Amino acid sequence: MNVELATQILKLLSQSGVADYIVCAGARNAPFVKLLGQSTGARVSHFFDERAAGFFALGRARRDGRPVAVITTSGTAVAELLPSAIEAFYTGVPLVFVTADRPADFRGSAAPQAIEQVGIYSHYTKMSFDICELDQVTKIQLAADGMTHINICFSEPLIDNEVSSLDLSPPNWGLKISSANSAVELEKTDKNFKKLKEQIQKLSKPLVVLGAIPSSYRSAIFEQLQTMQAPIYAEALSGLREAPELAAFTIRCGSDLLTPVEFSQNFDSVIRIGSVPTLRLWRDLEMSLQSTPVISVCDLPFSGLARGLNTLVTFEQWLQNSKDLKFSHGENILNRAQTIAAQKEQLLVDHPTAEPSFFKWLSAEIPQNSQVFLGNSLPIREWDFAATTHNKNFKILANRGANGIDGLISTFLGSAKSEVENWIILGDLSALYDLNALVGASLAEGHNLRVVVVNNGGGQIFKKMFQDKNFINAHEIEFSKWAEMFSWDYVKVIKPETLQLKPRPTVIELCPSAATTELFWARYEELFR
């Protein structure tokens, strides 16, 4: 029954739109390994590390807008997929985890490779099925907005029948997700509309904060922002950070200007459009600014705030009910932001080996139309702070569901496209978390792969927060041997200069000066005194 059970599962996945299978081979999932090895019509990739496989699948599903299946053996291999399940849950990306299991009789026995796999992903599973018999397969449905877990019991002998070739070509329609990588369609109730309309009528001096905006809505939001003329803080993920038409309304000096005191003097509310942002102000809305009303516009069902005075609406709801908004506030803070932005640009020039200056330089070096994946912790913040404001039509990506630093390179490789250059910029600790990910380079559909490691000797984001070296995880590791191990080219940069790169996968290690970086931030902070 094992081979037939695996056959029916694969047929169902194919009919549901799955075109990619990431296989982490082991004994217990042998029926799948054998079948996929002889089948046609689907793309089959092999990984030895389930955690990397889960994140690679996440990147591929986000890129293609259709579910990707990861197939594992039993035991702790199943647990390795939890981090990518969490990211998929909070970003609405469709994944399918097919986990082979020992027969149900083994549960609770502590027999080899027998753990409690049913329910192992807890809250982070949108759909879950425990399959032990053929007639249970028809129950399976795939979630379009997160992870589906299919746990399958196989008894021995594992290969119990002849293995035939399958045509796993998915239907053209597939199981598509929206370009929001989305998402759950929020319930459009009269109460929700009424609350939104009430909030809109109260808007007087809002600050607009732009997170990741789906490409399908970006044009409409762009047009609306030009009409609204409210002050904007735009993160790179929004795709509108560099829009010249919005420059007059955009705060480009960094988010440090938006302190609780400064905010209270200039604004009375926040309109968040897109995903949950990274700037410090968002945390202040939970603390000293907790009485500030917030309208969050997003197709994901997460407000990003653990408090009241928050209205969560879809893009459609927002666009239908906010057509006539126009504001005239913010002149003072925008003028001040413009002055500080010019001074900031001069500081970047005067301190070329400071870490933020490397981001300014790198954003100028990366070719136009490239796909740029930003790592969590400092890189995504320093890109927002210092990257060029010239519109180079970058496609900016990141894992901002749970904001973790694991699996970033694997997600990047799954997201890679063959028609553009593919860059990832991440910290040294993030790279160390995902060292074996470069195995996936041969599976990535991108010939020009650039992994930029900002090596500042540890988790420097905590230096300002705690002034305690025990948070930093300091190290003296350099990354040339890592590149050599996987036959990648390697470039070390200690000062900004023109990059001469070959059309081969390349690790670029940036080594900013700690002393110059500290001096830069001290001078920058003086601009606000």
Please say whether the beta carbons of 134 and 5 come within 8 A. Answer: yes
pLDDT in tens, 330-375: 999 999 999 999 999 999 999 999 999 999 999 999 999 999 999 9
Cα Rg of the chain (Å, integer): 24
Q: What is the pLDDT of residues 429-462, one digit of tens each?
A: 999 999 999 998 888 887 799 999 999 998 888 8
Average pLDDT score over residue span 373-392: 97
Q: Tokens 């809505």: give the residue.
A: 217
pLDDT reported for residue 185: 45
Query: For residue 505, what is the DSSP state?
Result: -
Region 225-236 average pLDDT: 98
Q: Which of 479, 478, 473, 453 is nearest to 461 (CA)?
A: 473
pTM for the predicted model, two decimal places: 0.94
Say which CATH architecture domain 190-334 belongs to: 3-Layer(aba) Sandwich (3.40)
Q: Collapsing DSSP states into helix, strand and coil, what is residue 207? A: strand
Alpha helices (H) in 39-119, listed in sequence order: 50-64, 76-79, 82-91
CATH code 3.40.50.970 region(s) in the chain: 2-153, 351-526
Say what the pLDDT of residue 184 is.
40
* 3-state SS record for 453-480: EECCCCCCHHHHHHCCHHHCCCCCCCCH
The closest of 387, 62, 401, 91 to 241, measured between CA atoms, is 387
Q: In a 10 Å sphere around its CB, with 0-12 CB exposed, 13-18 middle and 19+ buried, how is residue 276 labelled?
A: buried
What is the model's pLDDT at position 461?
A: 82
Average pLDDT taken over every residue of the chain: 93
Could you tell me which CATH number the domain at 351-526 has? 3.40.50.970
Query: Does residue 189 carry a pLDDT above 80?
Result: no
Confidence of residue 309 (pLDDT cuts 50, 70, 90): confident
Structure tokens at 435: 């060292």
Numbered ranges of CATH 3.40.50.1220 in the chain? 190-334
Report residue 516's pLDDT band, with 50, 70 and 90 as the boundaries: very high
Banded model confidence at residue 286, pLDDT cuts 50, 70, 90: very high
The answer to whether domain 2-153 has CATH 3.40.50.970 is yes
Flag whether pLDDT at 183 surpasses 60. no
Return the pLDDT at 182: 40
Question: What is the model's pLDDT at position 180?
Answer: 36
Q: Which residues contact 152 (CB under 8 A, 6 or more apart)?
A: 5, 6, 9, 98, 99, 100, 101, 131, 132
User: For the segment 398-416, what is each residue's pLDDT rounded down to a tens digit?
Assistant: 999 999 999 999 999 999 9
Pick the closest to residue 272 from 306, 309, 244, 234 (CA basis): 234
Q: What is the DSSP letter of 247?
A: G
> Are 71 and 21 a contacting pair, CB within 8 Å?
yes
**Which range among 29-33, 148-152, 319-323 shows the weakest confidence by mean pLDDT?**
319-323
Helix (H) or strand (E) holding 426: strand 422-427
Element (H or E) spanning 450, and its range? strand 449-454
With pLDDT > 70 as the criterion, what percentage of the chain qualifies?
Answer: 96
Predicted local distance difference test score (pLDDT) of residue 193: 66
The angle at the Cα of 90, spanning 435 to 379, to the nearest 5 degrees, equals: 45
Question: 442 vs 246, which has greater pLDDT?
Answer: 246
